Chains A and B, each alone.
Chain A
Amino acid sequence: DSGVTQTPKHLITATGQRVTLRCSPRSGDLSVYWYQQSLDQGLQFLIQYYNGEERAKGNILERFSAQQFPDLHSELNLSSLELGDSALYFCASSVALASGTDTQYFGPGTRLTVL
């Protein structure tokens, strides 16, 4: 158990809908990262937050957004969902922004299925 929690574990929804994925980092970790994992693309970095502020963006679609709250939990919002958004979404956390060399600890993931 990494100490990172994610809810829900599974999510099934329809095209065009909006969903929210939630992540709670390890106790004491200030950075949260979101990744998308699909069979053909592997683990793709989406976005990073540090202590409530956005710090880095990867291949995140404009339909997707995220935020980190004062209690450091984070939410990833996915809107206007398409079939191709079906994937595993992982949250990871690390102790501090510091550098790109912080050890990242991953949560168990949310499996999103768009029908």
Chain B
Amino acid sequence: GENVEQHPSTLSVQEGDSAVIKCTYSDSASNYFPWYKQELGKGPQLIIDIRSNVGEKKDQRIAVTLNKTAKHFSLHITETQPEDSAVYFCAASRNSGYSTLTFGKGTMLLVSP
């Protein structure tokens, strides 16, 4: 089955800095890669996703890049703000009727004012 590795487990940055979280996956057939943000006491919230026919996707201060050859994808957050502090999860799945999301173990991002 799919295995998703996520690094780092914790990341501390100063407000205004950039943050990068990296994930690798094992199943070369995976073609959907969402990122979720989970704030304390809440459920994971989708913030951005990318499909295998695209190498990069941006949404304001958030971007995701995908390298299918190397089987890794990354989340980039620019101009970080204290409200970006949360746990971020990457996930992967393949286009199959019985496939489901496999999540990384999460990255706790702390943005200091």
CB pair A104–B43 under 8 Å, yes or no, is no
Q: Give the distance in Å from the alpha carbon of A101 to the alpha carbon of B33 in the complex.
A: 8
Q: Give the distance in Å from the alpha carbon of A38 to the alpha carbon of B34 in the complex.
A: 20
Please give, as numbers and ranges, the residues of chain A lying within 8 Å of B105 by CB-CB distance. Answer: 42
Please give, as numbers and ranges, the residues of chain B lying within 8 Å of A48 by CB-CB distance. Answer: 100
In the complex, which range does the number of interface residues on chain A fall in? 20 to 34
Q: Give the distance in Å from the alpha carbon of A71 to the alpha carbon of B49 in the complex.
A: 29
Does A11 reach chain B (CB closer than 8 Å)?
no
Please give, as numbers and ranges, the residues of chain B lying within 8 Å of A100 by CB-CB distance. Answer: 32, 93-101
CB pair B45–A106 under 8 Å, yes or no, is yes
Q: Give the distance in Å from the alpha carbon of A98 to the alpha carbon of B31 in the complex.
A: 14
When A and B form their complex, which 7 residue pairs have the shortest distance between CB atoms, in order from nearest? A100-B99, A101-B32, A106-B43, A100-B93, A43-B103, A42-B105, A99-B95
Interface residues of A (CB under 8 A from B): 2, 4, 33, 42-43, 45, 48, 55-56, 58, 90, 97-101, 103-109
